[in-house]
Structure 1
Amino acid sequence: MAISSYDFVAIGGGSAGFNAARVAVSLGLKTAVIDGARDLGGLCILRGCMPSKTLLYMADVLHLAQKAKTFGLKIPSARADMKAIHARKKKIIAEFADYRVKALEAGRFDLIRAHAEFVDAHTLALSNGNRVRAKHILIGTGSKVSVPPVPGLADVPFWTSDEVLDLDFIPKSVIVLGGGIVACELAQFLNRIGTRVTLVQRSANILRDHSPGASTVVQKAFVDEGVELFAGTQLQQVRHDRHGFGVEFIHDGKIVRRRAAHLFNALGRDANTAPLKLAAAGVDTRPNGQIITNRWQQSTAPHIYAAGDCSGPAEIVHIAIQQGELAARHAAKVKGIKPVDYSLLLNVVFTDPQLATIGRLEDDLDASGTPYLTASYPFNDHGKSILMDANYGYVKVIAEPKRGRILGAEIVGKDAGELIHAFSGPLAMKATVFDLLRAPWYHPTLAEIVTYPLEEIAEKIEAR
């Protein structure tokens, strides 16, 4: 049994682990990445952000082609060729994955292809029979699909996002369990390629982590496109037979039953930490398996860090990267570092209309008793969005009431994920609505819609 020693070890070669290792090496730490997955690259590249957004964009193009008559165009037929779509997705993802694999194998740090578990606070036993000792360890093992205690769910061959993202045919019908980001994005994708979709959500609104106003806009778009949507339900039973799947739930006080050829379990994800035997290292977790960390990403064992989906609080790639890099710098005792600033949290849902938020939002400000002003403006009253037939949604700006410093923004509408970045720099620089109004905004563009709530807040402040 061979034993290797390192200054810094990252368990998991995804966004958190890879970037932590990259920074650790640059700071002079002897570093290794341990990853036993069949394919290298991490969740985002292989089974998350990149394949899903590739498919979603293709579905957007299809949707526009199918509504060509709205724009005075004659396109006799537009339908999905899933074999071709699947091939294009595989080609694109292979290019991203190949780039990451080359970076992992470049030799700047050791890459150990094995699974790991803790023997003690500094020692890892590997699935290849060897052991690794490290002064500092970063856990970046991501997340896995959750299977909540819905009667019958664990006993049926449901799909996860992995299977949906790997489809090479158009399913006849699918029941989607869940109303979070993954559920909504892929439910709309399935509906647009020609699948009959029923979405069953337990909470009162889909996208429950966002405001009711924003989620209601997306919900209306789904229903308008033909998704059968039930929110505020209580799941009672899941069944499977040779004819397909049956789901029984309570909605508006009545028992409702639906059947479909396939079932997509999108009821959430749990941290992928159980195989690590964290108790042996003195690392505490939350009930969902997420590792409890402080502002430096340290766990309850101070030399062991965690970043990304396995620690939270936001399962977002750029947050995982920031957390991983911060952990490496803290382990290397870099002076003057600062924790991740979650007041700048940026979030995008790639439905159509898209939903995007940044900074501190109304619920958070209300809970802390922080005063604020808001103003919003609808897409269906804006020139560029009207000519694009992109009438769903609004842009909302949230600002401090005395000087107008921008606190946050919420956009639900066409290209919201792009438009929200109009606030990224200003928020980081603590800019005011007056600062943004001094900037030029070209007409006619989608981006200029943000000037209307900015002007309204400025007028409120000046009136005071």
Structure 2
Amino acid sequence: MAENYDVIIIGSGPGGYIAAIRAAQLGLKTAIVEREHLAGICSNWGCIPTKALLRSAEIFHYAENAKNYGFKIDGKIEADLKAVVTRSRGIAERMNAGVGFLMKKNKVDVIWGEAKLTKPGEIVVSKTTKKPMQPQAPLPKNTKGEGTYTAKHIIVATGARPRALPGIEPDGKLIWTYFEAMVPPEMPKSLLVMGSGAIGIEFASFYRTMGVDVTVVELLPQVMPVEDAEISAFAKKQFEKQGMKIILDAKVTKVEKAANSITAHVELKDGKVEKITADRLISAVGVQGNIENIGLEALGVKTDRGCIVIDGYGKTNVPGIYAIGDVAGPPMLAHKAEHEAVVCVEKIAGLPNVHPMDKLKIPGCTYCSPQVASVGLTEAKAKESGYDIRVGRFPFVANGKAIALGEDQGMVKTIFDKKTGQLLGAHMVGAEVTELIQGFVVAMNLETTEEELMHTIFPHPTLSETMKESVLDAYGRALNA
């Protein structure tokens, strides 16, 4: 006889495990199905371990430039790659174990295996065929396994995987995805990164800081294409100052493999082909949803371009089946998945005043050096949308804290509706902007106007003062520039 639940979640990444916890908090009998590792890609192979690598690179950079801060370090600074990778993997394992603890604490049943939807309200879990790429922390003692399980509400949170281009498929040795890029057995001397989105540019930044000769090839006319053009151009100059080579309006059409290197044929905007040889190539051309082999087709669940189609509350076209996170489409961000999870579960539980997600208020962060962060409309999108706008800018070079930190290369840009004073977008590049952006996200959610931001007292000396100054600048009132 099948065991019955109120809610079953397939996948334990940021969307899945948050959905499970919120459902349990609301008194729903909840189970979560996982086939590989608790906490999903984000904690095991994405958001968290990559930030650990980037932190190591940052420390390496400071050590190499210690004299700029008044210190003398005798001898050559050398990176211990094995130790760097081991630290990153250890942090991933800690996150993995943490989610196991949360499942136990919230009395969520863990079902280990591969789930398949057999009909609305029912899944069959079989033994997993997925070989984990790292050890799984000990599972809760009440972990269940193969069998049939039923629930009135089933949430698909199966995440996404790296997209592969025909003819340039990753092979694990010469052509990497982010999986291999996080655990290199040795540091390559040269690297070609295909794609300059968040994943591509973060790895380009890590390897360049670690001393690797890095070339980035981007199909579109700007690096980090989703960002505001002015911020993107600023970041590009900083990357190039660091020695990174960036080729825009170009695509890799062919890759030739040698014993321990690749030669990429890069087609430029004018049609000419440039051959670039590097030790390794990272394919960072996006991700695609894990929608295969889970029974969606048989049940008639609607998909589009590799993702499940949902409404603002995670509902699919089939009653009782929901989707959240990367598998439910862009933006493919962990914090989007987490918020989507809460919205979906609270709607299932019948809570009043549950609001659908406003995707314009989802911040985006790229942890390269310098960092990039944004929320809302770019200047170009605001104009395309018909707004008459005011734009404010403030450089880090005029901020006392940035100067004291030795991090004076950056800027904040704000975009307002000239008619109403509504904050339409905020865009940042520079030190710690991924921490600063949340101030503008809160302001947008509270429908804050320029007047309220101008009357807000920002502490001194802080990098956050650049935020207020950019608002003042939009109205011709900047005080420190």
CA distance in structure 1 between the aligned counterparts of 2:475 and 2:247, rounded to whole angstroms: 40
The aligned residue for residue 264 of structure 1 is 282
Given that 2:370 and 2:431 are in contact with CA atoms closer than 8 Å, whether structure 1 keeps it comes out as: yes
1:284 is the counterpart of 2:302: yes
Q: Taking structure 1 as reference, are residues 252 and 360 closer, same or farther at Cα in structure 2, changes over 3 Å only?
A: closer
SS of the equivalent of 2:352 reads coil
Is the Cα–Cα contact under 8 Å of residues 177 and 201 in structure 1 kept in the other structure? Answer: yes
Q: Paired residue for 1:401, among 391, 412, 418?
A: 418
CA separation in 1, counterparts of 2:406 and 2:269?
Answer: 34
On the 8 A contact 1:118/1:124 being kept in 2, the answer is yes
- Give yes or no for contact 2:393–2:413 (8 Å, CA) kept in 1: yes
Partner of 1:214: 231
Runs of 4+ residues over 4 Å off in structure 1: 154-157
2:84 paired residue number: 85
Match of 2:190 in 1: 173
Q: Which amino acid aligns with 2:32?
A: V
Tell me how large the CA RMSD over aligned residues is.
2.1
Offset at 1:154? Answer: 5.8
2:51 is the counterpart of 1:53: yes
Distance change >3 Å, CA 313–CA 152, structure 1 → 2: closer
Q: Is the 8 A contact 1:217 1:392 kept in 2?
A: no
Per-residue CA distance 1:333-382 (angstroms, 9 max, x = gap): 22221111323221111111111112333343233323331111222333
In the TM superposition, residue 252 of structure 1 has moved relative to its aligned partner by 4.3
Tell me how far apart the structure 2 counterparts of residues 153 and 243 of structure 1 sit (CA, whole Å): 16
Q: Secondary structure at the match of 1:135?
A: strand
* Cα deviation code 1:255-284 (max 9, x no counterpart): 111112222111111011112131112211
Counterpart contact for 1:152–1:239, Cα < 8 Å: no
For residues 149 and 85 of structure 2, what CA distance do their matches in structure 1 show?
Answer: 40
- Matching residue of 1:454: 471
Q: Which moved more, 1:68-77 or 1:350-359?
A: 68-77
Corresponding residue of 1:311: 328
Q: TM-score, normalised by structure 1?
A: 0.92
**1:384-439 Cα shifts (integer Å, max 9, x gaps):** 32343324331111123234232321111121112222323322222222222222
2:169 matched residue in structure 1: 153
Paired position in structure 2 for 1:18: 17
1:156, 1:218 → 2: CA distance?
A: 30
AA at the equivalent of 2:48:
M
* Counterpart position of 1:333: 350
- Supply the distance in 2 between the matched residues of 1:36 and 1:393 (Cα, whole angstroms): 43
SS of corresponding position for 2:60: helix
- Structure 1 residue corresponding to 2:63, chosen from 37, 48, 65: 65
1:282 and 1:99 map into 2 onto residues whose CA distance is 36
1:417 alignment partner, SS class: helix
What is the CA-CA distance between 1:293 and the residue it aligns to? 0.7
Distance 1:24 1:252 in 2: 51
- Deviations along 1:264-311, one digit per CA (max 9) or x if unpaired, are 111111011112131112211112x11111111111113211111111
1:184 aligns with: 201
Q: Deviations over 1:12-62 (max 9, x none)?
A: 01111111122222223222111111x222111101111011111121121
Structure 1: unaligned runs, 5 residues or longer = none
Match of residue 433, structure 2, among 416, 419, 423? 416
1:109 aligns with 2:125: no
SS in 2 for 1:357: strand
Q: CA–CA distance in 2 between the matches of 1:355 and 1:4?
A: 47
Partner residue, 1:444 = 461
| Farther off after superposition, 193-202 or 8-17 | 193-202
Q: Using the aligned pairs only, state the percent identity.
A: 29
What amino acid does structure 1 have at the position aligned with 2:296?
A: L
Contact 2:227-2:378 within 8 A present in 1 as well: no
Asked if structure 2 preserves the Cα contact closer than 8 Å seen for 1:238 and 1:248, the reply is yes
Q: State the one-letter code of the partner of 1:264.
A: I
* Counterpart position of 1:392: 409
User: 1:3 maps to what in 2?
Assistant: 2
Query: Which among 166, 187, 203 is matched to residue 220 of structure 2?
Result: 203
Question: Is 1:144 aligned to residue 161 of structure 2?
Answer: yes
Q: Which residue number in structure 2 is paired with residue 432 of structure 1?
A: 449
- Structure 1: distance between partners of 2:388 and 2:359: 19
Aligned equivalent of 1:99:
98
Query: CA separation in 2, counterparts of 1:453 and 1:154?
Result: 43
Name structure 2 gaps, 5 residues minimum.
128-145
How many Å separate the matches in 1 of 2:384 and 2:51?
34
Tell me how far 1:72 sits from its aligned partner: 4.7
Rounded Cα–Cα distance in structure 2 between residues aligned with 1:351 and 1:412: 10
Q: Secondary structure at the match of 1:79?
A: coil
Deviations 1:58-91 (A, max 9, x none): 2112112223344454334323211221222233
Shift of 1:107: 6.4
Following superposition, the deviation at residue 169 of structure 1 comes to 3.1
Amino acid at match of 1:60: E
- Match of 2:308, SS state, is coil
| Distance (Å, rounded) in 2 between the aligned partners of 1:300 and 1:137 | 13
2:40 equivalent to 1:42: yes
1:189–1:154 distance in 2 versus 1, CA, 3 Å: closer
Correspondence for 1:223: 240
Please tell me whether the aligned partners of residues 373 and 428 of structure 2 are also in contact (alpha carbons under 8 angstroms).
yes
Question: What per-residue deviation string (whole Å, max 9, x for no partner) do you get for residues 77-124 of structure 1?
Answer: 323211221222233222222111122244612211011122223322
Aligned residues: 456
Q: What's the counterpart of residue 312 of structure 2?
A: 295
